[in-house]
Chains A and B, each alone.
Chain A
Amino acid sequence: MKPFASSESSGQGKPPPPALRLSGGQSDKHSAFAEEAATHVEEQSLPSAPTAAAEILRAARQWRQQIREDIHEAVVEAIYADAARITERCVSTANRPARPTLDRAVDRVVTSRLWGFPIMLLLFAVLFWLTISGANVPSGLISSLLVETLHPWLREMTTSLGFPWWLRGVVVDGMYLATAWVVSVMLPPMAIFFPLFTLLEDLGYLPRVAFNLDRLFKHAGAHGKQAMTTMMGFGCNAAGVVATRIIDSPRERLIAILTNNFALCNGRWPTQFLIATVFLGALAPAHLASLTAAGAVTGVALLGVLLTFAVAWVLSRTVLRGEASAFSLELPPYRPPRILRTLYTSLIDRTLFVLWRAVVFALPAGAVIWLSANITLGGQSVAGHLIQWLDPIGVLIGLNGVILLAYVIAIPANEIVIPTVLMLTVLQTSATGVGAGAGVLFEMDSTEAVGNLLRAGGWTVLTAINLMLFSLLHNPCSTTLYTIYKETGSLKWTVVAALLPLCLGFLVTFSVAALWRM
């Protein structure tokens, strides 16, 4: 009747008492601390407090010192006794096993030590595979409509309306094209991925994932509830950072905030899906292509989770030292998801919301890219200068100047990395035959064409792998950073949150590049 998952995770152990008891259980420490804190606040406040309040506080302190027994504990016990008494009078249970059949049977399997992890990996791999194999066709359709058909038409129309070339460039070749790319690259995978993920969520599977991961988090010195905030991070890191409020201990909460970025977010999934399809899927025979790509994406997501543990482990043994605290996690019953409702909310709330955010950031970014490609300094465009300047660093870590510049431009939103990379690559390879001038994307209606363009830009499988890794490991977007600042109230930890993954990213990509080139 009380399906509690224990943080101690021994599985067979007796279920821990409910959450309230935990605060009672720690009452020695708790009330000693509370006493000290309260006294401190009272003393510090006495001169400035209104006299009535000061009087009451003084009386309270005297009473506290006079009553030796633990008041907090006593109150908690009184509440428990009454709750038990009332329940006894009001609740009747049928004379059969309290929690019948299916739920428990399913739980035995999906949270078992043997099967828990394989099932988890398999489920997520299937999720990614469905996304990748399902997104290709609609992506091509949207792209051929928005880029191949609508873009030339807009160019003609603006020309006939007498737009000067630079205005047409900024609006049609910069802002419109960047936005068209964002929509065609991001919409299909999101429209498949989010509803599926939401269905899993509605079903009640996520707490089971948290249960499975809890033991690992504990060993890493982090709070088991961090599994939940990591899950939120898979949607949006800013939301994941806010979700860490469910963690009471400031130390463990800070660890959860600092490592949330290792959960791939909305803005980064499309990059993973596209690059994996174009480069890694192409390595395998055609019928295994999407399976290979899905495997690669699962691998990167898994690496993110592993790094979460590793970084949490290091943090909890160095700057954020301490023991993992115990908690109780409720495994809710499985509930049949309401499919239509889920489709509706995940399309409206998540897909369109994220898409809208991407579009809002893509519009100015498109303009910036077009301008930087068309304003020349000393015979070369501004973008060209920047790319040339960043290229040595990029090559050192198995990427290139275009990708690094794209990540600088994409600080406000990860969503625009791919469109920026494509536009800059067109510029850099001066693919004038197909494009329509510097900084303009040409017509591409298939992922194959994207691959050809990128290969012309000097991309190899190494570039692809390292881009996927760098997409996982770089600074959070500015929204997330701002959220971290608001939640921690500390500039120092915000800077750490930005630099920690970035340094890790450079380290990992550099090592991979060095190994690859050996």
Chain B
Amino acid sequence: MSQPAPQPAAPTSDACAQCAVHRAARLRKLGLAIDHWDYLVALAGNPNTGKSTVFNALTGLRQHTGNWPGKTVTRAEGGFIYDERRFKLVDLPGTYSLLSTSLDEQVARDFILFGQPDVTVIVADATRLERNLNLALQVLEITPRVVVCLNLVDEARRHGITVDDRQLARDLGVPVVPTAARQGQGLPELLQAISEVASGRLATRPHRLAAEPPALKPALADLTARLQAAYPSLPNARWVAMRLLGGDSSIVEALRKGELGQLGQAEPPTSRPASRL
């Protein structure tokens, strides 16, 4: 398993204690016992990429998994302790995008936007990377605190597909961890990456959409500036501006009701600025 690209250089002394596999022994699955937590983690991804399998592996819960898209339509919650920190994990419904209007997609989008998770793990299917990236790029527009779990690498290998996870991590600007969750492969590394992004020890440089229509630029800049002025701590002003320009009525509604304003003011205790490396 290769390490994600933005990994900080590990001190050479006491290599064992730094090794993710060793640390995984310190994973304690909490099941449903999640009264209070240090970090909130969301699991997002396309349908049928193994989100529920990852969820079960980390929490020790046995939420029913099925080999068909659309199995999870509401969100499931569980918890685990890693590295002496309590994590609450939320399994979101599988979606292809965050832009359309079906209820399950809204559940996912609202959670990533308004639930303000400390880390959003995007579970991506290595055998169908391009389609999975569509969602990943949208999530990156909303939040920088992302870990990509490149799942089903075993299946990809069988089909003769290799994904250069280092290159992918460089392109996306966030850690990419190859896994085969059904076999439990790569989960220690995934936990490590989640923990590092959650604690801010690892700062990400999320990919920004390159080919923006030129006509959009001034509008986007103006609205983003206005939003930032009105709600200084709104973490994803740019994305909100983009949706306002796209005429997303649920975002307009959120702005009107002052939900966005609340997001800006009520700083959740867990979210602290990521320290740059």
Contact = CB atoms under 8 A, between A and B. Distances in A.
A50 B164 CA distance: 48
A67 B213 CA distance: 11
A140 to B, nearest CB: 31
B194 interface: no
B212 interface: yes
Residue among B103, B107, B252 with most chain A CB within 10 A = B252
A64 to B, nearest CB: 6
Interface stretch (A41-49, A265-273, A296-304, A434-442): A41-49
Interface string B225-240: 0110011000000000
Interface string B65-77: 1111110011000
A18 B223 contact: no
A104 to B, nearest CB: 11
Interface residues of A, number: 84
B98 to A, nearest CB: 9
Nearest to A23: B100
Contact of B216 (A74, A82, A345): A74
B64 interface: yes
B155 interface: yes
B209 A99 contact: no
B209 A245 contact: no
Interface string A204-226: 10110010000000000000010
A81 B134 CA distance: 9
A69 to B, nearest CB: 6
B256 A49 contact: yes
B231 to A, nearest CB: 8
B275 interface: no
B130 A87 contact: yes
Contacts of B231: 52
Given A38-B247, A78-B211, A207-B69, A93 B103 contact: no
Interface string A342-375: 0011001100000000000000000000000000
Contacts of A204: 67-68
A137 interface: no
Nearest to B152: A333
B133 A57 contact: no
Nearest to B210: A82
Contact of B246 (A71, A82, A206): A71
Contacts of A41: 249, 252-253, 256
Given A82-B211, A203-B67, A90 B99 contact: no
Interface in A161-203: 198, 201-203
A67 B159 contact: no
B261 A50 contact: yes
Contacts of A20: 96-97, 99-100, 134
Nearest to B70: A246
B102 A78 contact: no
A84 B130 contact: yes
Interface stretch (B10-18, B81-89, B167-175): B167-175
A234 B160 CA distance: 37
Give chain A's interface secondary structure class: helix
B104 interface: yes
Contacts of A91: 129-130, 161-164
Contacts of B207: 82, 86
A330 B152 CA distance: 16
A448 interface: no
Contacts of A206: 66-68
B256 A45 contact: yes
Contacts of A93: 160-162
Contacts of B128: 1-2
A2 B167 CA distance: 22
B137 A82 contact: yes
A31 B242 contact: no
B138 interface: yes
Given A78-B213, A90-B129, A333-B155, A345 B64 contact: yes
Contact of A63 (B47, B66, B138, B245): B245
A248 B100 contact: yes
Contact of B230 (A31, A53, A78, A242): A53
Contacts of A71: 213, 216, 242, 245-247
Contacts of B138: 79
B118 to A, nearest CB: 25
B19 interface: no
Interface of B: 47-48, 62, 64-70, 73-74, 93, 96-97, 99-104, 107, 127-131, 133-134, 136-138, 155, 159-165, 167-168, 171-172, 182, 207, 209-213, 215-216, 219, 222-223, 226-227, 230-231, 241-242, 244-249, 252-253, 255-256, 258, 260-261
Given A20-B96, A57-B252, A100-B160, 8 more contacts: A67-B216, A82-B211, A85-B210, A94-B161, A204-B67, A225-B70, A245-B107, A349-B64
Counting from the closest, the 7 A-B pairs by CB-CB distance are: A94-B160, A248-B102, A19-B96, A83-B133, A34-B247, A52-B230, A63-B219
